[in-house]
A = this chain, B = another copy of it.
Amino acid sequence: MLSKKTKYGLKALTFIARRIDNKPVPIATIAKNENISQKFLESILLTLRKSGFLGSKKGKGGGYYLLKDPKEINMSSVMRILEGPIAMVSCVSLNFYEKCDDCPDENTCSVYKLMKEIRDGNLKIYNNKSLSDLF
């Protein structure tokens, strides 16, 4: 299941990206329009800023804005920041690899093979998608 963090994060990103002039959008505006708890959204936008997707401006007329063209914002990277690993088990994860403690050999693991296939499928979708495709 997708976390609300990711869901809200994606909604916020599209909301910001829809603004053609790319003028800063205040958190409150996004929260109201997308029915998101403002405080929760704060922390989400903060991580999106710290990961280099968003810029911010304080004070009146401030808010969050995109640092790149929506076409240049890849969905894989966004998902990894918001949701974490794209793979469903860490032993098949490319960016968050971790060995399973219970599994002695990945090559003979039935779950491994299946989940690798799932990961490849999802990765193909995310890799070929940018923020502009979400409009």
Copies per complex of this chain: 2
Within 8 Å CB of A114, what residues of B? 10, 75, 129, 133-134
Asked if A125 is an interface residue, CB under 8 A from chain B, the answer is: yes
A125 cross-chain contacts in B, Cβ below 8 A: 117-118, 121
Which B-chain residue is minimally distant from A84 (CB atoms)? B1
- Determine whether the beta carbon of B1 is less than 8 Å from that of A89: yes
A93: shortest Cβ distance to chain B, in Å?
10
User: Of the candidates B35, B110, B135, which one forms a contact with A11 in the assembled complex, judged by CB atoms under 8 Å apart?
Assistant: B110
Measured CB to CB, the residues of A under 8 A from B are 1-2, 7, 10-11, 14, 34-36, 75, 84-85, 88-90, 101-104, 109-111, 113-115, 117-118, 121-122, 124-125, 129, 133-135
Pick from B14, B90, B111: contact of A10, CB below 8 A.
B111
Pairwise interchain contact A34-B113, C-beta atoms closer than 8 A: no
